[in-house]
Chain A
Amino acid sequence: MEENIEIKIKIKKSLYEQILKEAERSGFNSLDEFFEFILEQLVESEGAEEASLSEEEEEKVRERLRALGYID
């Protein structure tokens, strides 16, 4: 398994209490798990495309979709 790094952050108490409730409601076993999941989602949404297709490769995909009638 990948190595873990411990970090300390300061957040508002009211936010912390809300996060505790949300983590429990969502079914996570610990706050660590919950934070890791949220941060992963955030990083992935800002991160690189899922499969970097070249323009040529993407056009090839579009050609197939056109040929099969999925797009014009």
Chain B
Amino acid sequence: MVSKPHGGKLVNRVVTGKRREHLLEESRELPRIEINYERLIDLMDIAYGVFSPLEGFVTQEDYLHILYDMRLSNDLPWTIPVILDVDPEEIQGVKEGDDIALAYDGKIYAIMRIEEIYGWDKKEYVEHVYKTTDPNHPGVVKIYKMKELLIGGPIDLLNELKHPLEHRILWPIETRVLFREKGWKNIVAFQTRNVPHRGHEYVQKAALTFTDGLLIHPLIGWKKPGDYKDEVIFAAYEALIKHYYPKDVVVLAGLLMNMRYAGPREAVHHAIVRKNFGCTHFIIGRDHAGVGNYYGPYDAWYIFQEFPDLGITPLFIREAFYCRKCGGMVNEKICPHSDEYRVKISGTKLRQMIKNGEIPPEYMMRPEVAKVVINFKNPFVE
């Protein structure tokens, strides 16, 4: 059967109907905090249960447990604190126990009950979560730009975020109903922020052999310059699925969530999130959620040993490459041949070819996929 949500219950903090009207009215009188777009995405993820069991932004007890133990204070695995930062001036006159309105671009999205206001040590955060204090790490940069204080407490979502790709986004309750409609009991999720090459396809199909269905789950959210644009990724996957997957074994749906580039900790975080979507298995490949050379290629595998109680099965699948002697896509475990026969797929090389409008060789990327990607004028985030 599909996975139970993390913590046993799918969180739903989306307020509707008369209660929503009443709270919207109330929110206009409350002290207001403007949040940025990334915090707004976190807010949505909390409200729609993506981050179950979190009901709001974390309080200090959970924050410290997560940093030091990679668990919530109730011992449930959780590896990345979901935090809301404020400046002292923004909450002048506001105290613990008060309600505030959270707004983005002048529009109120939620009411938050402030359970706690606390200080934090950014260096401590990045050392634990990112395992580096290097100011060039994209996640570290973001943390150091955050404000002085953190506030924790539950949220109630009053307005949905209108997103240009909302027709691509499914929330956990929707994938759960979908998997049930399809009669799927074992579902493997594949996380991606790239267009598919032959290596990705190989890994997905290897996992799909053992499950009822595959959820291809591209991340929609903040990305760094040089990443593929969301619409390009979806178009590319549609081409791949149309030509190379049997009907009805794949669901392609977007996940609105920020990418943190925290390597191993984020791999566990991603697995928990997919558990909330109803998946029973989660593919962890080479350097999952990594960036640059901050993490070892398989560090994101070893961390799972600390979570035998995670509740979703990680599938550790080695990097695929093309072997001329084997005559197809293989990995190190199943290919006995030497490097002279092996051709690795380089993401950097693929990007360059696409930038130059070149169709990559077939062993790297399916031609139908390549044509779709190249047809976009600017496929990369600038």
Q: Give the interface of A toward B (CB within 8 A).
A: 1-2, 26-28, 33, 37, 40-41, 44-45, 47, 50-51, 53, 58, 61-62, 64-65, 68, 70-71
A27 to chain B: closest residue by CB = B308
Q: With A1-B73, A62-B181 as given contacts, are A53 and B309 in contact (CB-CB < 8 Å)?
A: no
9 A-B pairs closest in CB distance: A51-B10, A27-B308, A50-B10, A26-B308, A37-B309, A61-B177, A44-B4, A50-B5, A71-B181
In the complex, per-residue mask of B163-191: 1 if CB is within 8 Å of any chain A CB, else 0: 00001001001101110011000000000
- In the complex the two chains form, what is the Cα distance from A40 to B170 in whole Å? 28
For chains A and B in complex, what number of residue pairs have CB atoms within 8 angstroms? 56
Residues of A contacting B182 in the complex (Cβ-Cβ under 8 angstroms) = 71
Q: With A37-B309, A50-B10, A51-B49 as given contacts, are A1 and B74 in contact (CB-CB < 8 Å)?
A: yes
B171 to chain A: closest residue by CB = A61
Q: Give the interface of B toward A (CB within 8 A).
A: 1, 4-5, 8-10, 12, 49, 73-75, 167, 170, 173-174, 176-178, 181-182, 251, 253, 305-306, 308-309, 311
Q: With A45-B4, A68-B167 as given contacts, are A51 and B9 in contact (CB-CB < 8 Å)?
A: yes
Residues of A contacting B10 in the complex (Cβ-Cβ under 8 angstroms) = 50-51
Residues of B contacting A41 in the complex (Cβ-Cβ under 8 angstroms) = 311
A2 to chain B: closest residue by CB = B74
Contact A53 B174 (CB under 8 A): no
Q: With A62-B181, A65-B177 as given contacts, are A47 and B8 in contact (CB-CB < 8 Å)?
A: yes
Q: List 13 A-B contacts (CB under 8 A).
A: A1-B75, A33-B309, A37-B308, A41-B311, A50-B10, A51-B5, A51-B176, A53-B173, A61-B174, A61-B177, A68-B167, A70-B178, A71-B181
- In the complex the two chains form, what is the Cα distance from A51 to B177 in whole Å? 11
Residues of B contacting A53 in the complex (Cβ-Cβ under 8 angstroms) = 173, 177
Contact B181 A65 (CB under 8 A): yes
A47 to chain B: closest residue by CB = B8
- In the complex the two chains form, what is the Cα distance from A27 to B306 in whole Å? 7
- In the complex the two chains form, what is the Cα distance from A40 to B74 in whole Å? 14
Residues of B contacting A44 in the complex (Cβ-Cβ under 8 angstroms) = 4, 8
- In the complex the two chains form, what is the Cα distance from A45 to B309 in whole Å? 15
